[in-house]
Amino acid sequence: MKLLDLPTELFLQILISSVAVQTLKRALRLKLVNSIADECKTIFWSSVFYQSYTYYHVISGVNRVSLDSSRLSSYATIRRVAEQLCMENGTSNEDEYSSYLVDLCRLYGERIKSPTPKFTCAERAFQQDLLAGAVYTNQISTAKRLIGEGLHPIPSSPVFGSPMNIAAFQGNDEILKSFLASDIPGEIGDKKAWAALGAVKGDHLSTLNMILDDRCGVVLIIGRIRQYIRKGLLSENLDIFKRCSELYSPNLAEKTRSTFLANVVAKGI
């Protein structure tokens, strides 16, 4: 009997066992595991596996036939951004380069989305990816330089996502404050809405409170920002849940506490 003729449950158990026995890095070299991983929907993967899978392909540089050109292009961009961050940081250390690759592969899996513009210039698209990578790794000087050169913090970069969302997701408040400044392109309500989404998803209460602070501009909890604050009602973080329930509807704060408990119980936390 061929392996693929086995019942799905047994087949998947064999794959899981192969990963456990071979270790994840070695298991990723197995042709069958890679074949399925290349074709399945990555939305169902764990973040740890997706990061390891991406890192394997990025460092191997293997152009697998089953990989589409856009993914191969993304892997090349990850390598180039890591190289540029090393240059910006004034280092050519191999360990530093590998560390950036690990971080960027994790970010690639997170992909914190927002509107993605159509970049007519390939170099401009790369600069937006570099900005996202600099924000994620908290390279403040690089991020500020790129913003000073005219890049916009809200639009999603082609590979990594929105720099504004990423800054809040990581809790990198210094970069985020510079993005929220009045001299940076974008309407303050939109900037705060996208930032609030990142803070909620990243479970950073202090960052969320900073975003909503009147000293950065008055924010009404309406429209898009209300929509994003509502996502905090699904959070597994009690502090984020409580704050978002208060912001979304103060009169329902106590009532929605049961929603949080239901989420926790359902997820077995």
Q: What is the pLDDT of residues 221-252, one digit of tens each?
A: 777 888 888 888 888 888 998 888 888 776 55
Question: pTM for this structure?
Answer: 0.75
CA distance 99 to 138: 13
Sequence-separated (6 or more) residues with CB below 8 Å from residue 232 = 200, 240, 241, 243, 244, 245, 247, 248
pLDDT at residue 136, rounded to an integer: 96
* Average pLDDT score over the chain: 79
CA distance 68 to 39: 10
Looking at this protein, which amino acid is placed at residue 43? I
Over 90: is that where the pLDDT of 172 sits?
A: yes
CA distance 158 to 25: 27
